[in-house]
Amino acid sequence: DAVLSRISLCPHKAGMDSVNKNKTDEVIRSMSEGSRFYDNERRKAAQTAQRVQVMKSRAAVLSTGALQQAEAMASAFERQLETERDLSRVIVHCDADAFYAAVELRDQPHLRGKPIGIGGIGMLSTASYEARKFGVRSAMPGYIALRLCPELILVKPRFHAYEAASRQLQAVMAQYDPNFRSVSLDEAYLDITDYMARLTPGDVAQLPPLTTVADPPLVQEANSADSKPGMATDSAGARNLTTLEGRALAARVVHQMRTRMHETTQLTVSAGIACNRMLAKIGSDQNKPDGQFCLPADRAAILAFLANMPTRKIPGIGKVTEQILRELDITNCQALLQQRALLKLLFTPISFDFFMRSALGIASNNTRKRSERKSIGHETTFRELNQVPDLEDKCLHLCHKTALDMERKALLGRSVCLKLKTVDFKVKQRSVLLPAHTADEPVIKRAALGLLHREL
DNA sequence: ATACATACC
DNA sequence: TACTGGTATGTAT
């Protein structure tokens, strides 16, 4: 059922092991069926199905010659990508476990051991691990969560507390990489290559022992290396971080960092260690919660790690792309590679490039902060409104908040975009390009009202 | 250039 | 009864 794949739980996510998926799916469906939200999901599912059909019919008429030619091009492209593979950096993805919920359980001890959801009847932003056992998830409406777990306690978010905890976590991360890239309050990428290169033998001696930290293969193979533990060096005397021993050292460093984060915040953080952001991110999910994973800086190890990796685990492949690929019998990275000729012919160059890089584990290892933002705005969902003046009020208020933010952050913009959602969850976007960059509230308001009136 | 879709937290 | 909000980016026309 195509709709179910859109609204049901994602089976790969953490905390799902003990969930009875059929039962929770049934609850979710029975609560959604007949609602305007569900109808819209059905509409979108049909649209995806249509996309798949077009793709399949294009696939059906591909000649052997075309496929052979595409295979040759894909193969050449793979060789090109291999020349870009960079194993030299030690990238870490840190991800706090059930962050908002963990902060609440820390600050409100009476909630410990009970299932909690952060948010309200309309929507949850986080579910505690206790709640996840019942199938309660992030981005689930509270009223459905309550049906899955009647004892669920809904907790209003306290963003100031989360921001404070986030600052504490980031202060620890900054000790290891002052240029770390934060993704959200609870997630960040670090490049600890330079930090590790600077470690003195005294520093190394302070690190937690490998055996308490790493996965068996890393432990065995790192210990069987010829030089002394933690002291792998190349001919120039610099520490070689791409060896298994170097990775074992990285695992100890990251364990120390996670311990420090736990000491200062009482929160647990999971981490992935690899040679680029994509692999580090997949890694941080492997041993969640309160775990870490280290992927050796080695092509064969990376390909072996990815071979059976479900496509959905790749950051950037969501429910829709997962389904499209599944219809083409592609469910893991190995299949992604094997079907590269087909992908080359069916998808855009950008998508093909992305699939190939994902399947090979070749991605960016840049963890510097992104240069500048590209958009800023506000949106809000409100009860059904039909009167023009009411809609104008809402629009003007959102313009006001946006203009205020732009002034505070000293930003200018040249395009004004109005987003409208109807009661049946259809979304419309209307935008205009202004003659010049501006942050002027009246200018933004006039542009937005103009767009609004076009739709009334 | 515009509209819409997908993805992420 | 009830399904977010903010930002980036890809696809289609």
Contacts of A121 (CB under 8 A, 6+ apart): A141, A142, A143, A146, A154
CB of A13 lies under 7 Å from some atom of strand B: no
Q: Which residues pair with A429 in a beta bridge?
A: A419
pLDDT of residue A227: 45
Residue numbers of A annotated as active site: 187
Given a cut of 80, whether residue A424 has pLDDT beyond it is yes
- The CA distance from A433 to A445, in Å, is 14
Convert the pLDDT of each residue in A329-346 to its tens digit. 999 999 999 999 999 999
pLDDT of residue A230: 45
- Which nucleotide's C1' sits nearest to the alpha carbon of A375? C7
Residue A187 CA, distance from chain mean position: 9
CATH code linked to domain A2-82+305-360: 1.10.150.810
- The CA distance from A169 to A264, in Å, is 8
In chain A, which residues from 99 to 138 place their CB closer than 7 Å to nucleic acid strand C? 121-123, 125
Average pLDDT, chain A: 92
Radius of gyration of chain A (CA): 25
* Predicted TM-score (pTM) of this structure: 0.94
For A274, phi then psi, to 5°, come to -160, -170
**Residue A90: band (very low, low, confident or very high) from pLDDT cuts 50, 70, 90:** very high
Which CATH topology does A91-96+161-297 take? Alpha-Beta Plaits (3.30.70)
CA A55 to C1' B2, in angstroms, rounded, equals 25
Rounded average pLDDT over A418-435: 96
Query: Is the distance from CB of A283 to CB of A98 less than 8 angstroms?
Result: no
Convert the pLDDT of each residue in A127-153 to its tens digit. 999 999 999 999 999 999 999 999 999
Rounded average pLDDT over A231-260: 84
**Residue A324: band (very low, low, confident or very high) from pLDDT cuts 50, 70, 90:** very high
**Residue that is written with structure tokens 């692999």 in the block:** A279
What's the per-residue H, E or C state across chain A? CHHHHHHCCCCCCCCCCCCCHHHHHHHHHHHHCCCHHHHHHHHHHHHHHHHHHHHHHHHHCCCHHHHHHHHHHHHHHHHHHHHHCCCCCCEEEEEECCHHHHHHHHHCHHHCCCCEEEECCCCEEEECHHHHCCCCCCCCCHHHHHHHCCCCEEECCCHHHHHHHHHHHHHHHHHHCCCCEEEECCEEEEECHHHHHHCCHHHHHHCCCHHHCCCHHHHHHHHCCCCCCCCCECCCCCECCCCHHHHHHHHHHHHHHHHHHHHHHCCCEEEEEECCHHHHHHHHHHCCCCCEEECCCCHHHHHHHHHCCEHHHCCCCCHHHHHHHHHCCCCEHHHHHHCHHHHHHHCCHHHHHHHHHHHHCCCCCCCCCCCCCCCCCCCCCCCCCCCHHHHHHHHHHHHHHHHHHHHHCCCCEEEEEEEEECCCCCEEEEEEEEEEEECCHHHHHHHHHHHHHHCC
Given a cut of 80, whether residue A222 has pLDDT beyond it is no
Query: Is the distance from CB of A246 to CB of A239 less than 8 angstroms?
Result: yes
What is the number of residues in chain A? 456
Residue nearest the C1' of C5 (CA based)? A379
- Which nucleotide's C1' sits nearest to the alpha carbon of A382? C4
Given a cut of 80, whether residue A158 has pLDDT beyond it is yes
Which CATH topology does A388-455 take? Dna Ligase; domain 1 (3.30.1490)
pLDDT of residue A6: 84
pLDDT of residue A226: 47
CB of A32 lies under 7 Å from some atom of strand C: yes
pLDDT of residue A3: 84
**Residue A224: band (very low, low, confident or very high) from pLDDT cuts 50, 70, 90:** low
Q: Kindly list the domain boundaries of chain A, sorted by start residue.
A: 2-82+305-360, 91-96+161-297, 388-455
Given a cut of 60, whether residue A229 has pLDDT beyond it is no
Higher pLDDT, A38 or A228: A38
Rounded average pLDDT over A305-330: 96
Rounded average pLDDT over A9-26: 66
pLDDT of residue A237: 61
Rounded average pLDDT over A69-83: 97
Rounded average pLDDT over A80-88: 97
**Residue A8: band (very low, low, confident or very high) from pLDDT cuts 50, 70, 90:** confident
Report the percent of chain A where pLDDT is more than 90: 83
Peptide bond into A289 cis (omega under 30): yes
Query: Is the distance from CB of A176 to CB of A190 less than 8 angstroms?
Result: yes
Rounded average pLDDT over A364-371: 94
CB of A383 lies under 7 Å from some atom of strand C: no
Range from A5-14, A30-39, A358-367, A399-408 carrying the lowest mean pLDDT: A5-14
